[in-house]
Amino acid sequence: MSTPDIIVNRVSKRFGELEVLREISFEVPPRGFTCIVGPSGCGKSTLLRMILGLEIPTSGEIKIGEKVRTKGIAYIPQKSLLLPWRTALQNICLGLEAKDGSRITKASLDYLLALMGKYGLHGFENAYPNELSGGMEQRVSILRAFARNPRLLVCDEPFSSVDFVTRLKLNSEFRDLCASSETTVVFVTHNIEEALFFADDLFVLSGRPGRIVRKHNPHFTIGGHDPVEVRKDPEFNRLFGEVWTELESTHAGT
């Protein structure tokens, strides 16, 4: 069995008297797609910050695998946070600059330009953020993270700011990118359908203090990597109902 890229062992987190997370334990396998859903305020983003090393657990521990430490971690936030004075291509290159100390080779540049062409940004390489649609901005944010070729990608509701149709397109593109790069992903979302579409492992958190209510392992025979077609699978609808009920029951108890 492969060594997990992340081990979260009985992690709890308090901010003063406020208990945000309680006794969270799970493992993230290599090249797996782990999704976390839960009601607002249950500590999902706090958990991501602890994985990123930006917060320290009050108790318990988070172990980061050697391959993650070697190849690195990239982060995709809710909003694109592009630098307004840099073009789309220059914003994407920022991922490489942060990793390699501004050493952008021709091969790296050609690779990034090819990615931009494949994922809907051809012709917008020299456009500034205020000239891009919301979907384009988020594509730039995603490619900026992938430019680093990270072992681990941590995502905090990266598609929450775009419209439904754009979100579905981005879901499909993002899944293809992750599959082709063999990147390990930890992904937080409020969207149950999005979580079911992506997840190899899906963890449902309770209301604050966040606790793991249940783990699901979604598997569908209809739709493949199509976020619209997969909704036609009866198992998709059954699992949606289960996760919805779990979230409703835990939220009602807070």
- pLDDT of 253: 46
Name the one residue in this structure whose structure tokens are 């979100």: 167
Q: Could you report the per-residue pLDDT of 12-33, keeping only the tens digit for each?
A: 999 999 999 999 999 999 999 9
What is the residue-averaged pLDDT of the chain?
Answer: 90
- pLDDT of 254: 46
Integer-rounded Cα Rg, in Å, for the chain is 18
Q: Could you report the per-residue pLDDT of 50-61, keeping only the tens digit for each?
A: 999 999 999 999
Percent of the chain's residues with pLDDT above 70: 96
Helix count and strand count (H, E) for the chain: 8, 9
Q: Could you report the per-residue pLDDT of 150-201, keeping only the tens digit for each?
A: 899 999 999 888 888 888 988 988 988 888 888 999 999 989 999 999 999 9
216: closest CA among 232, 235, 190?
Answer: 235
Q: What is the rounded average pLDDT of the residues 223-251?
A: 89
Q: Is the dihedral of CA 74, 82, 178, 226 positive or negative?
A: positive
Across 150-186, b (16+ Cβ under 10 Å) vs e yields bbbbbbbbbbebbeeebbbbbbbbbbebbeeeebbbb
